[in-house]
Structure 1
Amino acid sequence: MKKIYILSAALTAFSLQAQFTVTVQAPSDFKEQEAILYTLNGSKDIIVTKEQSKNNTWTFKYPTSYMGMMKLNFPNTNNMVSFISENKNVSIKLDVQNNKVKDIIYQDEANSLMNKQQEGSQKKELILPALTQIKEYYKDNTDFGKALKEEISRLSGGAGSIDQTQHPFIYYYNTNYSKFLSNSADPSKKATQDDIINFLDKSNDMLETSSLLRPVLVSYLNAGGNTNVGTSVDKLLDRLKVETPRGQTVLSELIDIFDVYEMDEFKTKYLNLAKNLKCTINDRLASTLKSNANIEMGAVFPNYKFQAPANTTAKSLHDIKADKKIIVFWSSTCSHCESELPQLLAKYNDLKAKNVQVVGFSLDVDKDSYTKKIAAFPWINDSELKGWNSSYVDTYNIHATPTYFILDANNKIINKPDHVGDVLEYFKAK
């Protein structure tokens, strides 16, 4: 499986002849200069390169063959544009209002078709069941009955209508989404664990670039049941072989899944398996190992250079001097943060008297919402305003908000509380 190298290597490669180009046009009133192009590896977005606007047009020359999901991020306005590549030129126009992307007009054939397919899939999931029920009350020989039958037939159409030779990625995505992730009520149409193992083992590289990998793995675990998780994973990894790139990518995704669902026993087991591998490690698994090593108990919490910090003149996290630090990753749109952070606020003066400093890193994207919220928080706050695309998500292995860490005076991790109550209990501040 191919590797996509990040910025430094990519910039060199982009000087060569491009396999295809990505062209994005925006109206003249769109106040954005820089755009960042991403590809996909499993569930991880991979930065390829950056480009500056030329007459409100961004042109990216992609140097190698690539079929899969891509996206473009405009970092200063927090706009994200998703599209696909079938190794052919991509052309997109943006409809913008008040610096926000209001609509995306896909002008190339592949993305136009994919967009129609996605809209059809949404209608199929939301409307088709209702039409099927309504059909029972109308005869096929009536005008309405005929129209109803025709619409049901149209919505029931699947990937079979896509020419695989002309649109290999769209065919791949639609076929496998329908097979492994559709919400069919018919048990006979549900994929078995063996079906999924065969798919994960034999699929081509489009598995990693399709966005299907993680949801298919979750479907695989669900098919095995909660009491057979370890057996299911061992069976899968035995088939894929963790020495292979595919096996390592799947192992990395599984570790992250166990992290998200707080299945600590399984996360520890398979993280240790990854740590003890003696073979060459691929980039995807190496990233998972690094982000988890960054937050192990006793590890020095990696330093972070503040972007626009509030309530401090410090330039970085390590510049803050305190006997202990409470690090909290949060968001103004997080309901759990809404209930937990006021409890921390109520004890903030007591903590400060003990030379305990609180540092909040926000996963917000809306500047106004973030600014209004931190006005009530006297502790140090900072945000990249990039949401889950913030750099510290990967650095500190963040999968949920709020997430807490307690550091000592030397920035070593001495506690990883689950909830604010655990934070206050640690400092006997309840």
Structure 2
Amino acid sequence: MKNILAFLFLISSFAHAQYTINGTMSPTVDTDWVILYKIEGATQKFIQNSKIKTSSVDIQGKKQPLGSFSFTLPENTKVGSYRITYKLEGAGFVDFVFNKEDVSFGFHPNYANQTVTFTTSKENMLYKSYLDKISPAQQTLDSIQVAALQNQNLNLKNEYKEALKIVNAIQKEYLEASNGMYVQPFIKASLRNNLPEIIETPEKYMSNMIGTFFDPIDFNNKTLLNSSFITDRITDYVFYINYSQDAETQQKLFKESVDKVFSKIDNISYKKEIIEFLINQFETDMNLELIDYLFDNYYSKLPINVQDNSFKEEKQALFAAEVGRIAPDFSWKENGKQFMLSKLNDAENYLLIFWSTTCSHCITEVPQVHTFLKENDKVKVIAFSLEEDAYGWNSFKKTLPNWHHVLGLNKWQNKTARTYNIVSTPSYFILDANKKIIAKPEHLKDVKLFFANK
């Protein structure tokens, strides 16, 4: 009898020694796998992957493809925020919290955040219920405020106060319901700083929104730090709330919003992650001014042991030859004389061409450039030829007189070519007299158009 009881106890203990994450998506997606990550700061840590099993379900008489997947987590799995990703590109993910309980959910893969429904997990069900109630209530309050700003003759003070009561009541209800739960910090941090009275001017409205945006967020709370919550709010603040159609004003707003963000962050590791995150975001639009601003004012001021040298070197190399940068310097010999790009002073503009005698397209196009610029004494061409040897180059360059000719051996592995991120030939760079890159034409027609407008 004792042996049977011990065996039953062992089976019972084993049954509770692991947890499951189950998901269904309708319709399914083309990919075969979903990946589970744990969110840590502004980064994601791979946990495991799972194969999507396909089936079908009958919806209003039509067969709808269904995808399902499951993860098994050991007992010692860390509590925190997790993400399943099912698309390699775009917004293809679902976030949830894990707090030592099974989690089950379903969603439409094209509208995951709007459609996700949790059927198992008290934590996730409560938080999703909160979001489903607080979001429309806040939208109603905002619409009343906006209507009052658009029409100063409307008296919507009472409507605003009633809508605000509803918002505050929902917040109070869910703060009490989440007492002692992992999701409570998210609920605390979600409430906007709504003023008790309706705001009468757009300037005051925007001032209040921008000035109080981060007030509900505790930047030292580990639950929030180890989720996408703060990162998402930072993204909204930097890229959407502080907005201007004027390019110069926008750059100023970007810097001000970045300064505001980092005035809130004390955690050094998280600060590093957010700096890197913002650099990657600004990289999308090649906003070199803000990338430099982040490196100079924040990344370089992190403790040396925290900085990632490989990250800095990668970004510096990536942006070294972009428009707005001083062209990376290089030297060469020409008729026994030493030249350096930075020391040239024989033109108002320079056209740097990376080409090759083994490139059939170059053989056709480069002579056309020579013909086009032959009478233009304000432009000097530096023809940087990527070759395995000098044999063909020595003869071909003679057909292109009055140019600076540079031999780049080792072709694609040439150090200068790699500095300029050359992946195809011909590649064009237009420089001003100070060797700053002012344009990177893609085609010969773009080169002609540039100089035709000069």
Compute the TM-score of the two structures, normalised by the length of structure 1.
0.50
Compute the TM-score of the two structures, normalised by the length of structure 2.
0.48
Greater Rg by CA: 2
Q: Which structure is richer in relative contact order (CA contacts within 8 A, separation 6 or more)? A: 1
